[in-house]
Structures are given as C-alpha cells and as structure tokens.
C-alpha cells in the first residue's frame, strides 16, 4: 500500500487542501511589496501586513495537517523529500514571521528593500517546497489510492 495521509476527509488528504492558502497569501505579499516599492500609497504596506498575517495563520493550519501526516506513517518519515518539504516550509514560515514582526516594529520603511527581499526569498523557497510536495504525491504516492483501489487514508 502507498503511504497514507493520516488526516483526511472522505479519503481526501487535508494538507494539500490547505496549502494553496498560505502560498497565495505569501505570493500576494510579494506582489503588494512590489507595488509598494513603486508607490507611496499607504494602502500597500497595510495590505502586505494583512497578507503576511493571514498567510502565517493558514501556514500554521497547513503545518498541523502536514505534521499529522508526517508523524502518522513511518514510510512518510523515511522519505528524504518529506524532510526537505517540511524543513523548507518551516524556513519559509520563519522568514515570513520575522518579516511581519520587523514590519510591525519599523513600519513601511522596512519593506524596501529588506521586506521585499524576504518576500522574494520566501516565494522562491515555496517553489522548491512545492516541488518536494509534488514528489511526495506523484513519485512516492503519499495519500494516493493504491493499485488495488483501496484508499490510502
């Protein structure tokens, strides 16, 4: 049998249902940072802060689901891709948490250039982490029904 997803609804793993949200919020933060770098409108730094905050909340939820799967099946923990995916996502969350904290302390002046660079770094890491998540599903078949038709829940 394929490695199973411990946390699922009707056979559908929850972790992949949640991860688009923090990814979208963190990419949105990069976009609003870029727009802020070209504009003096105070809306854009505020939008970046809200994007970061929402991204961190959703990342925490996705991390809980992912960690439940990671701890729930020894075969997942044995995968190098699973470790790289998890560590990479922890790094992204730390980068974004530090970025939000510094933005709240220093204000909009932090965004250009440091906040913008941190947003760009986080999005670049998300590409790597997404690739590793893809490897887990499509190469290692984590959370995918096995060939006998049995659910990998």
In the structure encoding, which two tokens stand for residue 71, read together? 């701890």
Q: Where are the domains of the chain?
A: 8-139
Strand partners, 8: 13
Q: Pick out the chain residues at pLDDT < 50.
A: none
**Alpha carbons 24 and 19: distance in angstroms, whole number:** 9
pLDDT number for residue 144? 82
- The model carries a pTM of 0.91
**Alpha carbons 9 and 13: distance in angstroms, whole number:** 6
Q: If we measure between CA atoms, which residue out of 18, 26, 34 comes closest to residue 53?
A: 26
Handedness of CA 24, 26, 29, 33 (dihedral sign): negative
pLDDT number for residue 146? 73
């Amino acid at each position: 049998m394929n490695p199973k997803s411990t946390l699922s609804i009707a056979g559908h793993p929850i972790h992949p249902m949640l991860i688009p949200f923090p990814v979208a919020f963190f990419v949105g933060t990069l976009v609003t940072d870029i727009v802020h770098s070209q504009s003096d409108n105070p809306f854009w730094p505020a939008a970046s802060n809200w994007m970061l905050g929402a991204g961190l909340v959703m990342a925490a939820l996705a991390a809980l689901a992912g960690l439940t799967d990671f701890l729930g099946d020894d075969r997942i923990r044995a995968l190098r891709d699973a470790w790289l995916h998890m560590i990479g996502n922890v790094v992204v969350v730390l980068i974004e948490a530090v970025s939000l904290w510094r933005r709240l302390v220093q204000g909009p002046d932090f965004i250009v250039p440091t906040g913008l660079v941190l947003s760009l770094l986080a999005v670049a890491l998300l590409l790597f982490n997404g690739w590793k998540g893809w490897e887990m599903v499509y190469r290692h078949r984590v959370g995918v029904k096995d060939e006998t038709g049995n659910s990998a829940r």
